[in-house]
Amino acid sequence: MDRHAALEWATGKAMRPRVIYDAKPGSPLEIDRELYGRLARETGRRTLVERFVVPRRTGRAWPMRAGQIFRILAVEGPQVADLNVWNLANPRERFVVPRRTGRAWPMRAGQIFRILAVEGPQVADLNVWNLANPRERFWASRTRQLHQAHLTTFNRLWSCLPYLRPMLTMTGDSVQYGRDEDGAGCHDLLGTRCDPYVHKLLNGEELDVCCHSNLVRAVAPFHLTELDVHDVLNVFQVTGLTPEGRYFVKPSPARTGDYVEFFAEIDVLCAISVCPHGDLSVAVWGPGAGDALATCRPLGVEIWQPAPELLAGWTPPATSDYRGGHGLRSESCPSS
């Protein structure tokens, strides 16, 4: 006698399958079919907000507001899709950006994000835009003038004219590099992103994984173009000027677990490129140029939502209140 038959014989009852996760009446499992059926039927009373096509063998993420509806459509025939969902205001989101690629993500005012060295030293190039108005974007040179050539805790990233307000405030810097014997510092504002144009100029080669190109690809899903990519903050990058005034770099000092952290003063779109020069220990231009691929590593990003009480007394900064009109005066209309 097998175990099933023995149990039936011992209890005198036939053993039938029993649903174990069975809710009582009134539970959240009892969906309001009238509400959701109405939403499904009344397609003529919807407004199309956005439509996009995800190319084969790729992926895409998009934000959804409560009360919105989205469809996943087979546009050219049968195709499987894998779907993940996160709370948009999750207290913590983490993702890893692979080496020699880029990624963009939105940040809400009052949130915090970290850029982390997850496998060792690696440089990142950071761009920032006003999420609602990309004409307002990070101004590297003014930030350098207002603070210093290498940023650290309590320095801010300022926006361009005519807005001129802090977009991000650096709230953490685990590297704490300071100044070395050559006058170099970390988290660089002296230089800017590498790009395929200067790479072709110096090496005569076509390279599509330069930081400029990585940023272009990263922001394309947000309807931005190459013209929107701008001068960067070089995170984890050590730079300085020689006595002759030439720009130089040193290998990144970041170690696994090191991070820089920023507080979003306004709603922003951030984007980083995981630099194809890796940790900058290998020269990629000039007579001794080599391939830096072996020194390239991924970077992590964490997004945090602080508790409301931690934001007591903080308000998002307003744009500049200069209204002088630059000395221009409108012409008086001639009297009739």
pLDDT by residue (tens digit) across 91-121?
578 999 999 999 999 999 999 999 999 999 9
Check residue 63 and give its pLDDT.
87
For residue 268, the cross-strand partners are 107, 130
Average pLDDT of the residues of the chain: 91
Closest among 314, 270, 277 to 292, alpha carbons compared: 277
| pTM for the full predicted model | 0.73
As a whole number of angstroms, the distance between CA 231 and CA 140 comes to 6
Q: How far is CA 34 from the centre of its chain?
A: 39
Query: Structure tokens of 136?
Result: 């307002």
* Predicted local confidence at residue 312, as pLDDT: 94
% of the chain exceeding 70 in pLDDT:
90
Q: Which of 14-18, 51-55, 82-86, 172-176 has the lowest mean pLDDT?
A: 14-18
Please state the three-class secondary structure of the chain as a single string.
CCHHHHHHHHHCCCCCCCCCCCCCCCCCCCCCHHHHHHHHHCHHHCCCCCCCCCCCCCCCCCCCCCCCCCCCCCCCCCCCCCCCCCCCCCCEEEEEECCCCEEEEEECCCCEEEEEECCCCCCEEEEEEECCEEEEEECHHHHHHHCCCECCCCCEEEECCCCCCEEEEEEEECCCCCCCCCCCEEEECCCCCCCHHHHHHHHCCCCCCCHHHHHHHHHHHHCCCHHHCCCCEEEEEEEEECCCCCEEEECCCCCCCCEEEEEECCCEEEEEEECCCCCCCCCCCCCCCCCCHHHCCCEEEEEECCCHHHHCCCCCCCCCCCCCHHHCCCCCCCCC
pLDDT band, very low/low/confident/very high, at 286 (cuts 50, 70, 90): confident
Give the pLDDT band of residue 157 (cuts 50, 70, 90).
very high
pLDDT band at 247 (very low <50, low <70, confident <90, very high): very high
Give the list of residues 6+ apart from residue 179 with CB closer than 8 angstroms, or none: 185
Region of poorest pLDDT, from 33-42, 114-123, 217-226: 33-42
Strand order in the sheet with 299-304: 92-97, 299-304, 112-117, 259-264, 166-173, 156-158
Q: Is the pLDDT of residue 333 over 50?
A: no
8 A C-beta contact, residue 150 and residue 182 = no
Distance of CA 105 to the CA centre of its chain: 3
Distance CA 310, CA 32 (A): 38
